[in-house]
Amino acid sequence: MSEELLTVRNLVTHFYTYRGIVKALEGVDLTVDRREVIGLVGETGSGKSVTALSIMRLIEPPGKIIGGEVIFDGRDLLKLSDEEMRRVRGKEISMIFQEPTLALNPVLTIGLQIQEAIETQDIRKEDTEKLATVMLEKVGLPDPERMFKNYPHELSGGMAQRAMIAMALSMKPKLLIADEPTSSLDVTVQAQILDLMKKLVEEIGASVLYITHNLGVAAEICDKIAVMYTGNIVEFSDVLMMFEEPLHPYTQGLLNAIPKLGHDLYTIGGEVPDLVNPPTGCRFHPRCQEALDICSKAKPQLIEVKKGHLVACHLLKY
């Protein structure tokens, strides 16, 4: 069994809107190994969520996955039939979302919603109920039997997120995709949820693709980080190296932008590009201080510049 669990190659996803074609993902490359936590970091609009949804094949019209490969555990997910893909979801790859109280069905009890996730042919109904209650306990919810009968609107944000985690991990998936799971929670609750996730994921031996716009949070729980900018991965390396030696100008900008006492606030100049008419060549070049002539003409590929450190930038060839 290879080390690689998920390999995304050249993933392209477009959205056909009345304003034009939004080129959300323009060739995304990503690797997640087994038992690894990978962070996917980027600004709003960089395409992080679209990447996650594309991997899960949950992109709906007017969006469409145009091309690329998503190789999971040896199979290309993009080539599976709808039914086969459905069987992958929830069982081999699970996903949790940003606003847990909105992501839960308001008219069903949370116990039932977890039970749903567990239902397969092999397990009987009475057992799924028990299993669901056990999961509620595992995620640290008090009084699991009573909690089972509660409705989502009766839960706080933190509790609801725990319930979602219960749902997602109940079938012991190989990969958990977490799309900004703590962004809408209080800071203290955030820490608790992160700890919970770390613990449970290690227990079942799963990998995590952790999506966030917050580099600090990513640094806390991720082994490696992929930085995303406007539809492309621009840098990918393990956490330490990324913080010590960021190679891509955008990553450097992000790190500089973290407020430090005693220093002026640094911002990356320019605006986020329009995805309908993105800049030619390297999409970051209009905002890049060190842009070369070639940067506006040719798109840089993501290449391994040092061991385990990939960057997509023309500067590094010279």
Partner 1 sequence: MVLVLFGVLVITFLLSHVVPADPIGAILGPQAPLEMVEKIRHEWGFDRPLYEQFVDYVWRVLHGDLGKSIRTNRAVTRDLMNYFPATIELATFSTFLAIVMGIPLGIISAMKKDKIPDHFARVFAISGISIPVYWLELVMLIVFYYQLGLLPGPGRLDPYMTYPPRVTGLLLIDSLLAGRLDAFVNALQHLIIPSFVLGMFGAASIARMTRSSMLEILRKEYVRTAKAKGLRERVVIIRHILRNALIPTVTVIGVTYGGLLEGSILTETILAWNGLGQYATGSFLYLDFMAVMGVTIFIAVIYSLTNLFVDILYAYLDPRIRYG
Q: Which of 72-80, 102-110, 121-129, 237-245 is the region at the interface with partner 1 (rule: CB under 8 A)?
A: 102-110
Nearer residue to partner 1 within complex by CB, 164 or 282:
164
Longest dimension (CA), the chain: 67
Considering beta carbons, is residue 75 or 153 the nearer one to partner 1?
A: 153
CA-wise closest residue to 234 among 153, 151, 169, 316 = 316
Stretch that binds partner 1, among 6-14, 147-155, 279-287, 298-306 (CB under 8 A): 147-155
DSSP letters spanning 187-247: HHHHHHHHHHHHHHHHHHT-EEEEEES-HHHHHHH-SEEEEEETTEEEEEEEHHHHHH---
- Per-residue string for binding with partner 1, 10-49, x by CB under 8 A? ----------------------------------------
**Ranges within 248-307 binding partner 1 (CB under 8 A):** none
Separation CA 68–CA 13 (nearest Å): 9
CA 151 to chain centre: 27
Of 30-38, 103-111, 227-235, 280-288: span binding partner 1 (CB under 8 A): 103-111
Is there a contact between 226 and 30 (Cβ–Cβ < 8 Å)? Answer: yes
Between CA 77 and CA 32 the distance in angstroms is 15
Q: Which is nearer to partner 1, 138 or 224 (CB)?
A: 138
Site for partner 1 in 158-187 (CB under 8 A): 164, 167
Task: Find tokens 């290690």 and name the residue.
Answer: 202
Q: How far is the CB of 94 from partner 1 (least distance, A)?
A: 7
Please report whether residue 146 would count as binding partner 1 according to CB under 8 A: no
Question: 68 or 152: whose CB is closer to partner 1?
Answer: 152
Give min distance, CB of 96 to partner 1, in A: 8
The DSSP output letter for 281 is S
Q: Between 55 and 312, whose beta carbon lies closer to partner 1? A: 55
Told to check if 103 binds partner 1 by CB under 8 A, we report: yes
Q: What share of the chain is helix, strand, coil (3-state, %, to 5)?
A: 35, 25, 40
153 near partner 1 (CB under 8 A): yes
Q: Is 48 helix (H, G, I), strand (E, B) or coil?
A: helix
Among 16, 67, 76, 105, binds partner 1 (CB under 8 A): 105
Q: Exactly one of 97, 210, 236, 284 binds partner 1 (CB under 8 A); which one?
A: 97
Which residue of 17, 20, 108, 199 would you call a contact of partner 1, by CB under 8 A? 108
Cβ(8)–Cβ(16) below 8 Å: no
- Distance from C-alpha of 241 to C-alpha of 243, rounded to nearest angstrom: 5
**Residue 95 · residue 40 · CB < 8 Å:** no
Q: How far apart are CA 318 and CA 314, in angstroms?
A: 8
Query: Residue 104 interacts with partner 1 (CB under 8 A)?
Result: yes
> Residue 7, SS3?
strand
**Could you tell me the smallest distance in angstroms from the CB atom of residue 168 to partner 1?**
8
CB of 113 to partner 1, least distance (A): 8
Residues 6+ apart with CB under 8 A from 86: none
107 binds partner 1 (CB under 8 A): yes
Phi, psi for residue 13 in degrees, rounded to 5: -130, 130
Number of residues that bind partner 1 (CB under 8 A): 26
Nearer to partner 1, 27 or 47 (CB): 47
* 78 contacts partner 1 (rule: CB under 8 A): no
Q: Note the residues at the interface with partner 1 (CB under 8 A).
A: 56, 58, 86-91, 94-95, 97, 99, 102-108, 116-117, 151, 153-154, 164, 167
